[in-house]
Amino acid sequence: MPEGLKKLLEPFLALSSGKRIVVGGVALISLLAFAALISVANKTDFRPLFANLTSEDAGEIVKKLKEQKIPYEFSDDGKAVLVPSDKVYELRLSLASEGLPQGGGVGFEIFDRKNFGMTEFVQKLNYQRALQGADARRQLLRRAQFVFERRCGEHAGSVAKAGAHGVRLATGPRI
C-alpha cells in the first residue's frame, strides 16, 4: 500500500468497529444524497406545447418534433404534448407557421359550414364559441409578440433615408 494512502487510512483504522460502521454509513448516505441531488438538478422541466389535441394534430406535431430531434413527452391523460420549457414559445411559433395544430380551436370558420336547420340558440352558441376561439388566438399572438420583442428588443428594425445629391440630412432627435 502506498505511503500516502496508508497515512490517510490510519485514523480510520484506529477507530473501533462500531465507529467505523457509523462513519461508513454517514459516507454512504452522503454519497447517495449527492447522487440524488445531481439527478434532480439534471432533470428536464417539461411544459405543455399544446393541449386538447386531436390525434391527427398530435401525430403531426410529434413527427415535426422527431424531425427536429426535440425531446417530448405526453401528459398523463395523453391529450397534451410536453416539451422542454425553454423551447415552448419558439416551437409554438414554428409549428403555427406550418399550420399546426389544425383542428383544435374553433373560430369564426365555424360559420363557413352551411346548416340550414340551425336554430337561433345554436347560432348564438356558435358565436360565443367563435369569440372564445378568436380570443385564444389573440392571446397566442400576444405571447409570440412578447417573445419576439424580448429576444430582438423593442426596436428591431432600422430605416435608411437618402436625400438628393449634396443635401445634408439632420441628425439627432426632432421635437
Task: Note the pLDDT tens digit of each residue in 106-144.
Answer: 666 666 677 777 788 888 888 887 777 777 667 767 776
Amino acid at 55: S
Give the pLDDT confidence score for residue 166 in this predicted structure. Answer: 63
Give the pLDDT confidence score for residue 156 in this predicted structure. Answer: 52
Cα–Cα distance, 107 to 134 (Å, whole number): 5
Give the pLDDT confidence score for residue 170 in this predicted structure. Answer: 62
Contact 69, 108 (CB under 8 A): no
pLDDT per position as a tens digit, 76-114: 777 788 999 899 889 988 888 887 777 655 666 666 677
pLDDT per position as a tens digit, 23-40: 999 999 999 999 999 988
Cα–Cα distance, 115 to 3 (Å, whole number): 92
Mean pLDDT along residues 42-46: 87
CATH code reported for the domain at 43-103: 3.30.70.1530
Mean of all residue pLDDT scores within the chain: 80
Q: How confident is the model at residue 164 (pLDDT cuts 50, 70, 90)?
A: low
pLDDT at 175 over 60: no
